[in-house]
Structure 1
Amino acid sequence: MEQRKKIAIIVAGGSGTRMGSAVPKQFLELSGKPVLWHTVNAFKQAYNDMQIVLVLPEVHFDYVKPWLHEFSTGAGVMLVKGGETRFHSVKNGLHEVKEPAVVFVHDGVRPLISTTLIRACYEAALSTGSAIPVIDMKDSIRQVEGEANKAVDREQFKIIQTPQTFLSEWLLPAFSLPYDPLFTDEATVVERQGRRVHLIPGEEANIKITRPLDLTIASALLKEKK
């Protein structure tokens, strides 16, 4: 199988309002380290030639400077200033993609991503152009329209995770499109170019930390991992 440069664009723009915390959620402590440290570490563990582009609001750079040097071996970590939306933040990160690569776009607040899933995304993107990890919905869901609501078949729906992973020749042209508020993630941007994205099985443990309860769950999952 061909080998490609690997670039992880880790987007961490959240302010932590749902956490009710003064510290943005990506910098809250999880098992003795900031959440974002665990996220960066996961990608470094998966491939030693992984280049990491960390996209943050400029006012948050000081949060990461104390520990960035820990990841300075290999391809290292680059800090990039975020934009006003996720689309603009990812676009800023993509400026660092200068040669053909497999590009992972990952939420900074998903620190429990496994090496297995990162590698599965890489291999699927190499063979199909893209890899979007998804998991099944376990709850019953209803569609609400004004006053009316109806049950819908949850089998027809999937929960989307990250890293959304693409060949750079898919992702770079897509992000040269003008911004549209309907771009909720990278897959929707790539689809606008007429490409079909490829879904792969995600992981139950690859949770997104947005509320205090998530931090408790992540802490328990990390203990199990160790």
Structure 2
Amino acid sequence: MIFGAVLAGGIGSRMGNVEKPKQYLNIAGKPIIIHTLEKFYVNDKFEKIIVLCPNQWVNHTENLIKKYIGENDKIVVISGGSTRNETIMNAIAYIEEHYTIDDDSVIVTHDSVRPFVTHRIIEENIKYAQEYGACDTVVPATDTIVKSMDNEIISEIPDRSKMYQGQTPQSFKIKKLKSLYEGLSEEEKTILTDAAKIFVIKGEKVHLVEGEVSNTKITYPYDLRVAETLISEK
């Protein structure tokens, strides 16, 4: 079985003084999160699409889905956790409570504020997660990457040809992801930035999926203007 997990836990602090989290801001007449969910909803491979958001926004999210997508039993909204990975574990707990999964069952995790994810990217995430157990969507780094250990002086300039910028989806075999996460020490959990790093820390392979430059994350006010332009061009 294949499940989608759309992560909508952010509060949008870098978006500036806005009255709601950025995933609920409108672009082209619809909330960003709805644009994202539509990409998953039309894919018939998903058994269930789980939206995870702050508890106080659950009812609002459910109402938006009813308004823009309609009544359906394919999407469910639940509360997220205090961190990204705890949020994913909440999704897995929901799956385990309602479904009988096997070792090949997959979860496709995606940022709610990446509304331009393509059908190809989602399909390749499903394929490579099934084949390799874990995959991460990336694009080659186009700028030189500079590393500084003290945030003042350059420590290293890595070979750009080996550098990539991470996007989402990130997709995993569910039982493997849960097992590895539960095997982490508290210290290891504090250095996590995303779920793929769980596999890397434990020495497990994570396959690369080719992303798209347009699969951008809406973080700043400028990104909203770019998103409006991209949608109008389509």
SS at match of 2:183: coil
The correspondence for 2:216, drawn from 195, 198, 207, is 207
- SS, match of residue 175 in structure 1: helix
Instruction: Give a deviation string over 1:49-74, Cα, whole Å, max 9, x none.
Output: 4411111111111321223232544x
Q: Matched residues in 1 for 2:180 and 2:70: separation?
A: 30
Q: In 1, Cα distance between the equivalents of 2:169 and 2:57?
A: 22
In structure 1, what is the Cα distance between the partners aligned to 2:145 and 2:181? 33
* Offset, 1:208: 0.6
CA contact (8 A) 2:180 2:199 kept: yes
Number of residue pairs the alignment of both structures matches: 220
Counterpart of 1:34 in structure 2 is 31
Residue 121 of structure 1 is matched in structure 2 by: 125
2:61 and 2:77 in contact (8 A); partners too: no
Query: Are residues 137 and 181 of structure 1, via their aligned partners in 2, closer, same or farther at CA, if it must alter by over 3 Å?
Result: same
CA distance in 1, matches of 2:211, 2:7: 19
What is the 5 A alignment of 1:1-226? Answer: 5-20=1-16, 21-47=18-44, 49-69=46-66, 70=69, 72-73=71-72, 76-98=74-96, 99-100=101-102, 101-146=105-150, 147-149=152-154, 150-178=156-184, 179=186, 180-225=189-234
Identity across matched positions, percent = 30
**Larger strand proportion, structure 1 or 2?**
1
CA RMSD of aligned residues (A): 1.8
Give TM-score, length-normalised by structure 2.
0.87
Unaligned runs of 5+ in 1: none
The SS at the match of 1:221 is helix
> CA separation in 2, counterparts of 1:112 and 1:71?
21
TM-score (norm 1): 0.90
Contact 1:164 1:186 (8 Å CA) reproduced: yes
Distance in structure 1 (CA, Å) of the matches to 2:142 and 2:42: 30
Which amino acid in structure 2 is aligned with residue 65 of structure 1?
E
Contact 1:56 1:80 in 2 (8 A): yes
Q: Matched residue of 1:105: which SS?
A: strand
Change (3 A) 1:30 1:77: same
Report deviation, 1:192: 3.3
Structure 2 alignment gaps of length 5 or more: none
Please identify which structure carries the higher helix content. 2
- SS, match of residue 118 in structure 1: helix
